[in-house]
Amino acid sequence: GASGFLMTDEEKEAYIDAVENDDSLISSMKHGTGEEWYEKTIALSVVKKIKENLEDNDIEVILTRRGDTYPTLDERPELANEEGAVIFVSVHLNSTLSEVTMANGVEVYYSTQNNDDELGVTSQELAQEILDCVIDATDANSRGVKSGNLLVNRKCMMPSALIELGFMNNPEELEHLIDED
């Protein structure tokens, strides 16, 4: 999974200066020297908040993991299928190949191979609704809804979506991603 490093004030100042004046420097910048954060940690924290919110609204939630475990990409949709889930949402965080990026924003994927409306909503409609709600709640940049042949979505027997909440190697976005609010 992805990880990102917080930057010191001085490192962040250099990053902001590069963004404002010469973004060609960004791809050669080194990551911050602050605390390292992992995708698995942030994603699980977000998922637990979603679970609590949904259960407060009398919606049953099944998690594919509750701690520091890593079910395979095959096992996740298999569990949803076995449990008869109505929808499936996979929560992730993005990153790029460079250590530091200006890339930012939220994107949601769905599979065209799993996009019928047998259960009253298509995977594409689910993905759009999720994106709209996240953007409304966070004011993050929208990178849109995209079709992709992603295993976890393709193997689901119900409408499914995979959300990328933001870029862990964008220092400003990482700060937002770890903020409890």
Strands 3-5 and 106-110, by their bridges, are unpaired
pTM of the model: 0.91
* Torsion angle (degrees, nearest 10) of CA 46, 50, 55, 58: -170
pLDDT at 83: 93
Token output for 136: 């409304």
How far apart (Å, rounded) are the C-alpha atoms in residues 39 and 44? 8
- Mean pLDDT of residues grouped by 10 in the chain (181 residues)? 92 93 88 95 94 96 78 84 94 94 97 88 96 96 94 92 97 95 84
Write the pLDDT tens digit of every residue in 52-77.
999 999 999 999 877 666 777 788 88
- Contact partners, residue 16, CB within 8 Å, separation at least 6: 172
How far apart (Å, rounded) are the C-alpha atoms in residues 28 and 14? 12
